[in-house]
A and B are shown apart, each in its own frame.
Chain A
Amino acid sequence: MDWTKLAHKKLHKPAALRQAEAEREDAPLANDLAANRRAFEHAFRDCSDLVFRELAIENHTKLLLIYIDGMIDVELITVNVLSPLIYKGLPQGLGAIDNIAQMCEQQLFSVLQMRKSSNLGELVTGILKGNLAILADGEATACLAGVKQVATRGIEESTSEPALRGPKESFTENLRTNTVLLRAKFATTRLKIEEMTVGSLTRTDVVIAYLDGIVDPDLLEEVRARVARIQVEGVLDSGYIEEAIEDTHYSPFPQMMSSERPDVVAAGLMEGKVAIIADGTPFALVVPMTFWSGLQAPDDYYERFLYVALNRSIRYFFAAFSVLLPSFYIALTNFHQELIPGKLMITIAALRERAPFPTVIEVLMMEIMFEGLREAGLRLPKPIGPLVSVVGALVIGEAAVSAGIVSSPIVIVVSAAGIASFIIPRYRFGIPLRMLRFPLLVLSGMFGLFGLTTGVVAILIHLVQLRPFGMPYLSPLAPAAGQWLKDWWIRWPQRLTKRSEPEPENRGGEA
C-alpha cells in the first residue's frame, strides 16, 4: 500500500529529467571533442566515479578516454591501449590514420571486443556497462572497447543447496561466470543463450538458456514473451523476474525452481526446460517447475538408485508428514479418540490433565513459536545463531512443558513436523508446506478428520489445476505420463528408462 505509492511516485520522475534522457537516446556525437566532453559531463554530472582521460598522440590528435573507475581492467588498457598510443605512437607503415573508426577497424588496439558508435545514448550505456569509450577530436564516431572487469566473488560451494555427491560449484553474481559454468557443461552449439535487458534503471542483462531441439518451442516462445513484457525499474535478483512472469501470485506453491547449482540448471535444460539467469544474482530460474521437482535433490541422479529410492521415499513421506501431522494429531485426539491405541490415548490424556488451553490453541501457539524461532535463526548473525536454538529449545521444549503451559505431546508433534519440513531439499519448497499447516489446523480443529480431508482435497484440487507455463504441476503423476513416471518416486536406473530421443535432424549442429 505505502510501498506501491512510493513506487508509483518513483515512476513519475521530473519531466525534465525524462525528456533529457529521451533526447540523449538519439543524440549524435558532435565533431568537436570539447563539446562531446561537455555532453558526457552533463549526462554523468555528479558521478564522481566517471574518469575522463585526455591525451594527445604525436601532439596533434587528441583522444578522450571515458570509463567508470573500477569497472574496467586497468592493466589491459595500460598495456594494450595507452602504451601503443603514447609511447610507440601510431604504428608505422600503416599509413595515415584518418579517424578513430578506422583505428577500430584496423584493429590497432589489441582488445577482443571492439565496436564503434556515434550515438550518445549508446555510448553512455556502453560506459555504464563497463566499456571504455575512446573519442577523437574532430570525429563524430567513438570506439567502445570491452574491457569490463568488475570485482566479484569466486566460485564457491553452494550454501543453499548442499549435496553430498555431485558438483560443488555454484553460480556467482556475475552473469558471464554463470553462463560459462553452464556452457562448460555442454559442448554443443545447441545450448542457446539469448540475451535480453530488463529494468529501466538497472538495465540488467537477463539471459534465457535452453537446449535447441529438446526444448518445447511453445514454452520457449512463452518465456521470451513474458520476459520481454516485464516492466520494472530494477532487477536485483531473479526473484523480481519470477514475480513478474509467474502465472499466479495467489498460490503458496512456487511455480519456478530457483537454483544456484549449474548442474541442476543443466539437468533442467536436458529435460526440455528453460533457464532464466539474471546478472547480479547467483540464483537462476528454471521453468516450468513441477511439484515433484521441489522434493527432488541433485544427489538423486548421482547416487545409486536403491539409495535414492530410500531417500526419496523418506522425503515424500516426511513432506506429507510435515503438512498433516499437527492437524492429524488434533483430529485424532479431539474427535476420533477411538482411533488411537488405548494405552497411548490414556497417556495422552494423562499428559493433558494440566494443560490450560485446548489442543488446537496449544498447537497453534507452538507452531507460531516454531516459525518465529526459524526466522530468528535465519536472520541472526552467525555467532548468535546457536544461542537462539539453545534458548528456543529450552523455552519451548522444556520450560513450557514443565510449567504446564503446553502438554508435552504437542512439543513432540510440532517439532517433528518442523524437522520434517526441513527434510525437503529445496528450502523454499518447504515454506508452502509449512504455510498450509495453519489452515489445516483450523479445519481439523473445527471438523476433525472430515475437515482435514476437505482441506487436503482442496489443496489437491489447487495443485491439479495449477499449470505454470502450461505444464501441469503434478505431472508426471497427474496426468500420468507413462515413461516419466519412472523418475517420479523411484528413480530407475538410466538403462531401464528409455527417454525419447530428440529427432536426428536437430542434432546436426553438434560438434
Chain B
Amino acid sequence: MSAHRLGLLLLALVGVSLIAGCGNRREPDHLAFNMGDGLDMTKDGKLEVSFQIALPSGIGGGDGTWGGGGAAHETYELTSAKGINIYDAIQHAQKELSRELFPGHREVILIGQPLAEHGIAHLLDEFVRNPRSELRSKLLVVKDAEAKDVLAQKAIFEPFMSMGLRRQQDILRLRHVYFHDFMSDTLTEGLDPYVPAIGLTAASKPYYYGSAVFNKAMGLKTVGFLDANETAYANWITGKQAGYECSLPIGGGNGDNISVTFNSLRKSIRTRKAQDRIMVDLHLSGIGAIVENNSTLNPTRAPDRRTIEQAINRKTKREIETLIAKVQREYRADIFGFGEAYHRQHPLQWKKVSGKWNDRFPELRVAVQVELTCERNSGLVTSPIDVN
C-alpha cells in the first residue's frame, strides 16, 4: 500500500510540475489570432505578408469591464513584415508581437495583384506544411490593389475585414473556394485554378469583382480576370455555384426587361476525339424562377414562357461561348476542367496529351448547349402587372 501511495504521490508531483512548466500548452491569452493573411509584392520585388490580428479585448465578450465603459475599441491590428518566404515573414512579424501568431483561425488569404501576376507557386508550401495552419481559409485575389489595403479597411458589420470577406463569399453562394480546394485544383491534372477576386471601389470599399485565372504552366500566376458574370458561368461549368441570376431586356425596344434566378444548375461535359481533334460537348441546364417581369409576356402561358426561355438561352449560350473563347485564346488556362473530363473519360488517350495540356486546350472545339427553363414563378404575381 505504501508503494501505491508513493507512486500516486510521485505521479501527482510530476503532474504539478508539468502543469507549472508546460511544454506546448498555450493559454488563449498568449496567442495572437491571425484572422487574415495578405500577401503582397513590394516594388523592389520582395514578399510582404500582412497579418490581421484580432484584439479579443476590443471584440469583447462578457460585459466589457476590461478597458472601461462605452468607448469603441480597436478590434484588430494589422502587422506587416517582409521576408524571403512566408515563414521568414512570420518570424519578422513575430518580433513586433507579444503574443504568438496563431493561424488556426485564419479566415482569408488575400493575394495582391502584383504578386498574383508574378506567380505564387513558391508560396504554397508553408500553408500546407504548418500543422497549425487553417486550410479552410478562403483564398482571394485583390484586383488593382494590394492585399493589405483591403485588410486595412473597416468592415461594415463584422469586427474586421477578414470576417466580412468570408461572409460575403457565403452570401454569393460560392462553393469550393477554400485554400485546400485551390490546392486540390492546382494539383489536378487537366485543370487550372481560378479564385474569387475582389476590387476596391473609389471609396476604398472592397467589392466582389469576379475571379482571377491562374495558369499552372506559367508558374501559377494570374493571367487575367473574369468579371462577376463570367465567373458565374465558369462556376456553373465547374459545379462551384449553386445559383445564377440573369437579367435581360426582352421583347421590343420599349425597355421591357425580365429577371430570372436559376437554382439547381446542372452541367455535363462529354469529350470525344474526332479526327485528331478533341471535341467537348458542354451541356448546361437549370431551373429558374422569374423574380422580376417588366414586360407584357405572361409566363403562365406556354408560348410566352417559351419566348422568355429562348431569349435567355440564346443570350447565355452566346456569352458562354465568348467566355470559353476568351479563356482559350487569352488565358490558355483550362479552368473549366475539360482536360480533367477528358482524362476521366479517355484515360488511355490522355497519356498522349497529359504533359502538354495547356497547349492543347486552346485548340479544343467546344459545343455549348444551354437548356434553361422557367418552371417556377416567384411570389404572388403570375401575370404581368398591367398599369393601363
Contacts and interface: CB of A to CB of B under 8 A. Distances in A.
A292 B169 CA distance: 48
The SS class assigned to the A binding surface is: helix
Contacts of A337: 26, 28, 31, 102, 104-105
A346 B59 contact: yes
A497 B196 CA distance: 59
The SS class assigned to the B binding surface is: mixed
B56 A359 contact: no
Nearest to B24: A335
A442 B28 CA distance: 18
A353 B105 CA distance: 18
A345 B33 contact: yes
A333 B35 contact: no
Contact of A349 (B29, B104, B132, B134): B29
A408 interface: yes
Interface in B24-43: 24-29, 31, 33, 35
A502 interface: no
A350 B62 contact: yes
B219 interface: no
B362 to A, nearest CB: 42
A356 to B, nearest CB: 11
B27 A358 contact: yes
B6 to A, nearest CB: 15
A348 B104 CA distance: 15
A334 interface: yes
Nearest to A348: B28
B104 A350 contact: no
A446 B29 contact: no
B59 A350 contact: yes
B201 interface: no
Interface in B221-269: none
B27 A334 contact: yes
Contact of B107 (A334, A342, A348): A342
Nearest to A442: B15
Interface in B20-77: 22, 24-29, 31, 33, 35, 54, 56-57, 59-62, 65-66
A424 to B, nearest CB: 26
B274 interface: no
A327 to B, nearest CB: 12
Nearest to A359: B27
A347 B19 contact: no
Given A350-B56, A402-B65, A448 B33 contact: no
A349 B33 contact: yes
B325 to A, nearest CB: 42
A355 interface: yes
A445 B25 CA distance: 8
A337 B102 CA distance: 9
A38 interface: no
Contacts of B3: none
Interface of A: 250, 333-335, 337-338, 342, 345-355, 358-361, 402, 404, 408, 442-443, 445-446, 448
A-B complex: 10 closest residue pairs judged by Cβ atoms: A338-B104, A350-B56, A347-B61, A349-B56, A349-B28, A342-B105, A350-B61, A442-B15, A352-B29, A446-B18
Interface of B: 4, 12, 15-16, 18-19, 22, 24-29, 31, 33, 35, 54, 56-57, 59-62, 65-66, 102, 104-105, 107, 132, 134, 163
Given A337-B31, A346-B56, A349-B29, 4 more contacts: A334-B28, A347-B60, A445-B19, A445-B25
